[in-house]
Amino acid sequence: MGIIMTALLLRDLKLSIRAGGGALIGVLFFMTVVAVIPFGVGPDLNLLARIGPAIVWIGALLAALLGLDRLFQTEREDGSLDLLLMQEHPLVLTVLVKCLAHWLANVLPLVIASPLLGLFMNMNEVGIGAVMLTLLVGSPALTFIGAVGAAVAVTLPRGGLLVSILVLPLCVPVLIFGVSASYAAVEDPAPFLPPFLILVAITMFFAVLGPLGAALALRNGGD
């Protein structure tokens, strides 16, 4: 089973990195969203430094949602989704591996790009490190929650917008604790560890719930 799952992981990674995958478009979107913020709130460096962690987190959240609707839709279009549904391994595991591949190809680049955007936002080194660390830990939760939305909307021809609407309210806890932990690292009195550990807990919780829900939706949504 390990071989099959590794093969699936490599296949998904290759598909999203090679032509038409659009993995780097997410990073581009992320940078564009963050770059637009100063035009809205003004070039005041102190203000930007203060809202920086929140802006980078929101930008990453939106960019992570961007490619979600393709998580199962390409498989459905070329028919390989039926093969994935018919194999004898637990579907939950397949979905988990697909989520991991999606995270590696689409969301990890956002985490890697976040320090650059932190510099744009005039954040200090500790703040940049904290945002990168919280994104690294928290962003898998976004993918797992998003997998449920992607699976529910897989049969819809233009599901992208709907997926965002369905998934965003459920992502509120991740955003809250990610931003809280980032601020706690910079501002002295607030302790860093509690929000950070809760963020870890949320990610692990959704690592179970997300694939379960997505597998249930995929089984029930077939035509």
- Residues 152-181 touching other proteins, rule: CB under 8 A, are 152-153, 155-156, 159, 162, 165-166, 168-170, 172-173, 176-177, 180
In the bound complex, what is the minimum distance in angstroms from residue 8's beta carbon to other proteins? Answer: 22
Q: Is 52 in the site for other proteins (CB under 8 A)?
A: no
Q: What character string, x for contact with other proteins (CB under 8 A) and - otherwise, covers 94-133?
A: ----------------------------------------
**DSSP code, position 222:** -
Maximum CA pair distance of the chain? 58
In the bound complex, what is the minimum distance in angstroms from residue 13's beta carbon to other proteins? Answer: 27
23 residue type, one letter: A
Report the C-alpha gap between 182 and 178 in whole angstroms.
6
The two tokens of residue 85 are 């549904």
Q: Is 221 in the site for other proteins (CB under 8 A)?
A: yes
Among 127, 146, 195, 211, binds other proteins (CB under 8 A): 195
Helices vs. strands in the chain: H and E counts, helices first: 11, 0
Query: Which of the ranges 2-10, 98-106, 117-125, 148-156 carries the binding residues for other proteins, by CB under 8 A?
Result: 148-156
Q: Is 218 exposed, middle or buried (0-12, 13-18, 19+ CB in 10 A)?
A: buried
